[in-house]
Structure 1
Amino acid sequence: MLKDVQAEPDFRGVALNEVGIDELRYPLLVADGQGGKREVVASVTMSVSLDADVKGAHLSRFVDVLHTWRDQLGPDTALAMVDDLRRRMGSAIARASLTFPYFLERRAPVTGSVAFMDYACTLSISAEADGQDLIEQVRVPVTSVCPCSKAISDRGAHNQRGWVTIHARPRDLCGDLWFDDLIDVAEAAGSSPVYALLKRPDERHVTMAGYDNPVFVEDIARDAAGALHSDARIASYKVRVVNDESIHNHNAYAQIPWTNAAQPKNGSAS
C-alpha cells in the first residue's frame, strides 16, 4: 500500500475555500437545444472546499469524475456531476466551470446558405449538501448601427460589431433553459445578427436591415434585459453589451446587473 500524504492531517487550522484543477482542456459532448449533442473542447476548472484538518485534495479524482460524465452534459447531468465530485471528495462544496465554443447552424437570410456560427459559452455549477446552483453564460456577436450617426449624416452611418454577454440562472435548475435561448435573445437585440457565410444578396440584405434598425449600446442592453425579464424560466440575469467602436479610440458599453432574483426551484442562489 502506497502512502497517501494528501490524506494526512494538517495542524495549521486554515480551511481552504477552493482547491482543484484549472485550465484543463477536455473533449465533451454537450446537450443542445434541438435534442442532440455537440462535440466541444472545453476549458475546465473544478474545485472543492478543504477542511482545516485535511492536508490536501486528491486531484486525480477531478479528472476521473469529469471523464465519467463527459458524454452527457446538460443542466441536470452537470449538477449531478458536481454533486458526484463533492461526495467522492468528502467536501462541503464542489464547483465546476466549463467554457467552450458552442456551434449552431445558421442560414443566410436570402440565399439560405448554411454554415456554423460559434458562440463562447460557459456553464458554472456548484453543489452543497443543502442546495445547488447553475449559471449559463453566452457571449454573442451582433452588428450595431449608430442611430445618431444615421440621423446626422447625409450618407450612411457608422456601424460596428457588438458583443452581448448574458449570465442567466434558471428558475428550475434542471429545466429546459439552455444556451440556444440566450443566444436568440442576444441576436435579436442588435441591429442584425452576425453570420459566418453570406453571399452577395445576403450581404445586401444584412447591410440594409442593420441600417433600418439602428441601436445604441443602451438599446441592445435594454432589449435583451426585457426579453430575459419576461421569460418565466429565468430566476436572475445580468446583461453586458460592449461595442467595438469603429470611429472612436474606445469601446462603448452598457450593463444591467442581476435582477429578478427569485430563488431557483431546486437550489440556492449566490
Structure 2
Amino acid sequence: MSVTIETPNAPLADAQAMNEVASSIGLDWVGMEGIALPIEIAGRPVSATVNAGIDLLAIENGQKGIHMSRLYQALDELTQSELTPALIKSTLTQFIISHQGQASCAHLHFSGDILLSRPSLLSEMRGWKAYPFEIDARLDHQWMLTLKIGVPYSSTCPSSAALSVQVAQQQFSLDFDHQPDAISVQQVSDWFDKRGLPATPHSQRSWAWVTVTLGQDAAQFPVTELINRIETALSTPVQTAVKRSDEQAFAIANGQNLMFCEDAARRLYRALNNQCHFDQVAIRVEHQESLHAHNAVALAVWKRGSHAA
C-alpha cells in the first residue's frame, strides 16, 4: 500500500510541544537510560552506558513532554575528548538550555569498566584488569559530582587463620610427643614437608566500593589515583598473569594482611579520610564468603568537617 504526501514542505507534527492539561503536574526526571557511548577516561577508551535526563517543571497548559533527541545529540560533545568534570557540566547546562523554561535540573550517570595493565608481584609479567566505575553528575541550583570505583581484592579470615594454626600446633605436639630428645631443625622441616598444613584458613575474593564526592574545582577524574590508593591500603589486590613466584608472594601478602571486613573498611577509611580534594568518601567492602553462603559487609563514611565514621 502506497502513501501519498500532498504537502511535503509542511512542518512535521511535534506531539511533545502540544499543550497538556496535566502539565501542571511536574516530573522529577524524564530522559533515557542505557545509552551506549564511547568515552575516554584516565587516558583509556571506555564503552560506557549512560543515563541522561532532566526534570519537567509544572506549568499550567505547558508542553506535553521533553525533546529527548536534544539530550541525545548533546551527548556527542562528551565523545570528542577526555571526559572531565567541566565537559560534563557543559553538557548538563546544554540540557537545560535546550528546554528553556521547562527544566531546572539535569542529570547524567555513566557506568562501565576501565581496563588497566597491572604488573605481577615479582616476575615481569603483566595483565589487564577491569575496574567497574560509575560517575553521577547533577546540575540544578548546585553542582554535584561523584565517582564510584570497584576494586577486587583477596581477604583471608583472621579467625580461620588462628584456628588453622591451632590445628597445626596440636598435630605437631601429637607427632612429637614421644620424642624424648630435642627436635632438630631438619626434623621440623621434614614434618612440614610430610604433613604440609593440616588445616588451611579460608579466603575469598572481596570487593571494595569507594564513592568520592569531588570538590567544586575538580579538573579531572582521579580514577587511577583512587584505584592505586585502594590497592595499596588493602595490600592484597587480585592478580592477572602470574608465575609460581608471584603466587607464593600473593600467599605471603594474604598471610601478612589477615582481614575481617571491619579491618578492610578501617584501612580504607584511614587511607582516604585526609584527601582534601574529596568532599565526602563512602566506603563499602564485601567479603564474598567461602565459608558461608552469605557475604560479610562493612560501611564507613567520611565527610568534610566530620571525624566520625
Query: Structure 1 length normalisation: TM-score?
Result: 0.89
Which 4+ stretches in 1 moved above 4 angstroms?
A: none
- Residues 142-176 of structure 1, C-alpha deviations (whole Å, 9 max, x = no match): 11111111122134321111111011001234234
Q: Determine the structure 2 residue equivalent to 1:11.
A: 21
Q: Determine the structure 2 residue equivalent to 1:138.
A: 149
2:225 is aligned with what amino acid?
Answer: D
1:203 to 239, 247, 268: 247
> Whose helix fraction is larger, Structure 1's or Structure 2's?
2
Gaps of 5+ in 1: 263-270
1:60 to 58, 69, 72: 69
The answer on 1:230 being equivalent to 2:274 is: yes
Equivalent residues of 1:113, 1:197 under 8 A apart: yes
Gaps of 5+ in 2: 1-10, 166-196
Shift of residue 101 of structure 1?
A: 0.5
Q: Determine the structure 2 residue equivalent to 1:44.
A: 50
Structure 1 distance, partners of 2:217, 2:17, is 34
Q: Determine the structure 1 residue equivalent to 2:112.
A: 100
1:7 is aligned with what amino acid?
Answer: A
Mapping of residues 62-141 of structure 1, within 5 Å: 62-72=71-81, 73-90=83-100, 91-128=103-140, 130-141=141-152
1:29 is aligned with what amino acid?
Answer: E
Equivalent residues of 2:273, 2:302 under 8 A apart: no
Equivalent residues of 2:84, 2:220 under 8 A apart: no
Equivalent residues of 1:236, 1:261 under 8 A apart: no
| Change beyond 3 A, Cα 1:112–1:75 | farther
Equivalent residues of 1:142, 1:193 under 8 A apart: yes
1:153 is aligned with what amino acid?
Answer: S
The answer on 1:243 being equivalent to 2:252 is: no
Residues paired across the two proteins, number: 256
Structure 2 distance, partners of 1:39, 1:188, is 25
Equivalent residues of 1:144, 1:191 under 8 A apart: no
Q: Max radius of gyration: which structure?
A: 2
1:40 is aligned with what amino acid?
Answer: V
The answer on 1:147 being equivalent to 2:196 is: no
* DSSP 3-state at the match of 1:192: coil
Structure 2 distance, partners of 1:27, 1:69, is 9
Structure 2 distance, partners of 1:63, 1:127, is 17
1:175 to 219, 233, 236: 219
Structure 2 distance, partners of 1:2, 1:169, is 44
Query: Structure 2 length normalisation: TM-score?
Result: 0.78
> Whose strand fraction is larger, Structure 1's or Structure 2's?
1
